[in-house]
Structure 1
C-alpha cells in the first residue's frame, strides 16, 4: 500500500494546535512538505521548526486569521505562486457554543466566512496546480454534527452541514482530474476546543466540569475521548495515493458515538 507523501506539498489550516497540528506532524512524517496556516506567528515559527524532516523537507508557514478571508486569500495566493499544492487540509476553529434560538444573526455570517468562504478561497487557489499534477487531496475537518446535530452548538451545526454539502458537490466536479474531496468528522477529541465546550456547558448548567465530562464519555461506546493523532492518521491515509478511489465521503472518527450507519 502506497502511503508515501514524499514530493507532495500540503497546506494545513489551523495547524498550531489540536487536530491541525497533529495532521501536520503526521503528514511531515510521511514525507510531505508542510505549509502551516494560522494566525499566531510565534506558534507557527516554533511548530514549523519542530516538524519531522525524514526527507529533508523545508517546511514553512503563512500567517492568516480565518476570521478575515482577505488574509487567507493573500496567504494562499503567495503559496501557490511559489509551489504547487497537492494536499489541502481545511481546518479552523468552530463557532462559539450556545442554543440556536439565542444565536445572533451575525454569528452565522461570521462562521460562514470562517468556513465556507475561506474554504472556497483556498480551494480555488489550489485546484489549477492539482489538475496539472493530476493529484489532489482536499480534506475537510468538520464534525459528527453533519450526521446528528450536537446539543448547544446551534451555529456550528448549521455551518458544518453547509460545509459537508459544499464538499460533496466539489467532489463530484473534481473527481475526473485525480482530485478527491473528503470530510473527517471528529467526535469528542482531546483538544482545547473540547475543554472549552466542557467548561462552557458546566458554567451554563452550574455543575462541576467533571459531570459534563462523564456525561460525554457515557455517550461514547469506546468510553474515552479521541486523541488528535487518531484523527491525523485518517487524514494521512486520505491524503495518500492509497486513497485515490475514496471520494466524496464523510468519515466519523468518534469511538462509535454517532448513532447512524
Structure 2
C-alpha cells in the first residue's frame, strides 16, 4: 500500500492546535512538505519547528484570520508566487458559538458561511489549476458528524457544515477525472478546545456538573470514550495518499460509532 507523500506539498488550515495540527503532523510523517495556515504567528513559528523533517521536507507557515476572507486570499496569493504547486489542501476552520437556532442572528450565518464555504472556495480556485497540471490533488474538508445527524445547540454550525458537505460532493464530481479527490472527514466528540466549549455550554444549560456531562456524552458513544485528534488526523492523512486514489466524494465519520445513520 503506497502511503508515501514524499515530494508532495500540503496546505493545512487551522493548524496550530487540535485536529488541524494533528493532521499536519501526520502528513509530515508521511513525507509531505507542510505549510501551516492560521492566525497566530507566534504559535505558527513554534509549531512549524516541531514537524518531522527526516525525509528532507521543507515546512512553512502562512498567517491570516479566517474570519477575514480578503486577508486569507492575500496571504495565499503571496505564498503561491514562490510556491505555485500545492497537492493537498486540508480545509479546517473553527465553528461558531453554540445556542438555539431560533435565536441566531442573520449575521451569524453570513459570518460562518464566509469563514467556511467562501474561504474553501477561494482556496480551491487558487490551488486546483496546479493540481490538474500535476495530475494529483487531495482536498479534505474537516467538518462534523452534524452533516449526517444535527447536533442540538449548534444550529448555525449544523446549517453551514451541511452546505460545505454539498459543496464538496459537487466539487468531487467535477474534479475526479483530473486525479483530484474531494472528501470530508466528520469528527465526533473529539478532545479539542471546541469540545471543551461544548461541555461548558451543556453544563451551564443543564445545571449539571461538567463531569456529569462528560459521563453522559461518553455513554452515547459505542466505544465509550471521546476521540483523540490524532485518530481523526489518521483518516485525514490516509485520504491524502496514493492508496486512497479511488476514494472520492464521501463523508468519513470518525466518532467511535456514535452517528446513528449509515
Q: Does 1:155 align with 2:130?
A: no
* Aligned-partner Cα distance in 2 for 1:10–1:230: 19
* Aligned-partner Cα distance in 2 for 1:33–1:180: 19
Structure 2 residue matching 1:151: 3-state secondary structure: coil
* Aligned-partner Cα distance in 1 for 2:52–2:177: 33
Q: Does 1:257 align with 2:258?
A: yes
Equivalence map 1:13-162=2 (5 Å): 13-83=13-83, 84-162=85-163
* Aligned-partner Cα distance in 2 for 1:78–1:239: 25
Runs of 4+ residues over 6 Å off in structure 1? none
Alignment partner, residue 248 of structure 1: 249
* Aligned-partner Cα distance in 1 for 2:127–2:226: 34
Structure 2 residue matching 1:255: 3-state secondary structure: coil
* Aligned-partner Cα distance in 2 for 1:125–1:82: 14
RMSD of Structure 2 on Structure 1 (CA):
0.7
Structure 1 residue matching 2:27: 3-state secondary structure: helix
Q: Deviations over 1:196-216 (max 9, x none)?
A: 110111122222111211121
* Aligned-partner Cα distance in 2 for 1:112–1:260: 25
How far does residue 110 in structure 1 lie from its aligned partner after superposition?
Answer: 0.6
Q: Does 1:222 align with 2:223?
A: yes
How far does residue 56 in structure 1 lie from its aligned partner after superposition?
Answer: 1.9
Alignment partner, residue 240 of structure 2: 239
* Aligned-partner Cα distance in 2 for 1:28–1:51: 6
How far does residue 78 in structure 1 lie from its aligned partner after superposition?
Answer: 2.0
Residue range with higher mean Cα deviation, 201-210 or 84-93: 201-210
* Aligned-partner Cα distance in 2 for 1:175–1:122: 18
* Aligned-partner Cα distance in 2 for 1:64–1:51: 20
How far does residue 171 in structure 1 lie from its aligned partner after superposition?
Answer: 0.3
* Aligned-partner Cα distance in 2 for 1:216–1:104: 28
Gaps of 5+ in 2: none
* Aligned-partner Cα distance in 2 for 1:166–1:79: 25
Alignment partner, residue 3 of structure 1: 3
* Aligned-partner Cα distance in 1 for 2:230–2:257: 17
